[in-house]
Structures are given as structure tokens and as C-alpha cells.
């Protein structure tokens, strides 16, 4: 099936089975390998991308369901002010260890802050609980989200920098 997509602001056309998840179209057809495979069943969030600004798990999203929605991946999330602020905060607070899940973490955090510039702890929990990090960088992720939002971030007393 020929499918037209909007990916990172560019029109793309691919010829793939209609049930093929967006994740594999991005990775194996379009060469955008920043979006990661972790579980294939929307349990870990490594594959998170934006669909019209919403965080979605691309590993379970059939390409036929994408339609005209704008797809944004980690490769282009820094083009938005919020995305760039999140990337910066991730580095300033040295969130990252192995980094494999962090594309998805950054996409989830950016979608949260774009909609809710000053999230509460409960709202951060709710937006981020779908993203697993095996290095368990969670305390710094929480802190970096607040930092990106310009909020004080007292949860992590383990000082860095």
C-alpha cells in the first residue's frame, strides 16, 4: 500500500503493508533510527513520537492509521522551543546513561510541557509512567522536566554541576 506521510515537516511516501507499525516505517524504511524498539506492545515508551503534538507509541500504530497527522520524531523535536528546552535540560542535569530509552522520554516530556507548561508532580507521573528506563534515570528525568519548565526542582538533592 502506498502511504503519504508528513514526517518532521517533510512529505514522504512509502510502499508498505497497511498494518506495518509506524515505528518500523520510520526505522527500516525512512532510516530514522532515533526512534527505538523496546517492547512492541506499547509497554515501554521507547518508540514514542508525536502525532499532531500528542505522544503516541509508534510500535502499535499501524501506518494506515496515521493519515494526515504530522509525525515528529526525536530527530526534529529540537526544532520546537519546548523540545529544545527539554533536550537542553536533559544535558544540563546529565539525565542520560545508556540513552536508549531517552528518545522516548524526551518525546513524552516535550508533549507534556507543550500542553502543560507547569505540570504538578502527579501530572509528571502520569505523563511519564509509560516510559521505562532500565538505567533508572527517573529522579533526574523528573528534575529535568521541572528545570525545562523553569520550575524549582527539589526532588533530587543529589547535586550535579
Partner 1 sequence: MSQVELITDRRRFLLGGGLVVGFTFVALKAHAQRVVGPRGPQPVSNEEIAVVSGEGFNGFAPDAFIRISPRDEIALIVPNVECGQGVYTGESMLIAEELEVDLDQVRVLPAPPNEKLYKQPLLQFQGTGGSTSIRGAWEPLRKAGAVARTVLISAAARRWKVDAAECTAQRGHVRHEASGRELSYGQLVQDASSLPLPKEVQLKNPNAFRLIGKNLQRVDTPSKTNGTARYGIDIVVPGMKIAAVANCPVLGGQLVRVDEHNVRERPGVLDVIQLPDAVAVIGEHYWAAQSALQSLHPVWDGGPNEHMSSATLRADLERASREGKGAVATQEGNYSAAFQRASSRVEAQYIQPFLCHAPMEPQAAVVHVKDGGAEIWCGTQVPTRAQAGAAKVLGVSLEKVVLHGQLIGGAFGRKLETDYVEQAVAIASRCPYPVKMIWSREQDTQHDNYRPMYVDRLSAGLDEKGLPIAWRHRVTGASVTARYAPAGMRPNGVDPDAVEEAEDPVYGKFPHMLVDFVQWQPPRGLVVSWWRGVGPTHSVFVVESFVDELAHAAKRDPYQYRRDLLANQPRALAVLDEAARAAEWGKPLPEGVGRGIIVQKSFGSYISVVVEAGVGRGGEVSLRRIVAAVDCGMTVNPNLIKQQVEGGILFGLSAALYNEVTFVGGRVQQANFNDYRMLRLNETPPTQVIHLPTSHPPGGIGETGTTAAAPALANALFAATGVRLRELPVARQLAARAAT
Position 49 contacts partner 1 (CB under 8 A):
no
Q: Could you tell me if residue 81 is left (phi over 0), alpha (psi between -120 and 50 degrees) or otherwise beta?
A: alpha
| Strands 10-15 and 54-57, sheet pairing | unpaired
Position 81 contacts partner 1 (CB under 8 A):
no
DSSP conformation class of 114: H
Q: Of 78, 64, 53, 63, nearest to 28 (Cα)?
A: 63
- With contact defined as beta carbons under 8 Å apart, do 74 and 139 qualify? no
If the CB atoms of residues 46 and 56 are measured against partner 1, the closer one turns out to be 46
Binding mask 85-114 for partner 1 (x = CB under 8 A): --x--xx--x-xxxxxxxx--x--------
If the CB atoms of residues 75 and 115 are measured against partner 1, the closer one turns out to be 75
Alpha-carbon distance of 124 to 138, in angstroms, equals: 11
- For the CB of residue 114, give the shortest distance to partner 1 in the complex, in Å: 17
Interface with partner 1 (CB under 8 A): 16-17, 19-21, 24, 27-29, 31-41, 43-44, 46, 73-75, 77-78, 87, 90-91, 94, 96-103, 106, 124-126, 128-142, 155-161
Amino acid at each position: 500500500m502506498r502511504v503519504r506521510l508528513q514526517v518532521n515537516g517533510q512529505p514522504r511516501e512509502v510502499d508498505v503493508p497497511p498494518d506495518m507499525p509506524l515505528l518500523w516505517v520510520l526505522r527500516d524504511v525512512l532510516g530514522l533510527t532515533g526512534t527505538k524498539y523496546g517492547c512492541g506492545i506499547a509497554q515501554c515508551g521507547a518508540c514514542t513520537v508525536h502525532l499532531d503534538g500528542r505522544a503516541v507509541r509508534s510500535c502499535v500504530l499501524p501506518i494506515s492509521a496515521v493519515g494526515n497527522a504530522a509525525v515528529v520524531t526525536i530527530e526534529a523535536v529540537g526544532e520546537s522551543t519546548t523540545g529544545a528546552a527539554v533536550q537542553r535540560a536533559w544535558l544540563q542535569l546529565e539525565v542520560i546513561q545508556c540513552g536508549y530509552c531517552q528518545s522516548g522520554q524526551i518525546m513524552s516530556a516535550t508533549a507534556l510541557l507543550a500542553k502543560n507548561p507547569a505540570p504538578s508532580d502527579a501530572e509528571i507521573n502520569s505523563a511519564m509512567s509509560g516510559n521505562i528506563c532500565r538505567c533508572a534515570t527517573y529522579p533526574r528525568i523528573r528534575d529535568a522536566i521541572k528545570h525545562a519548565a523553569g520550575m524549582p526542582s527539589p526532588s533530587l538533592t543529589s547535586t550535579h554541576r
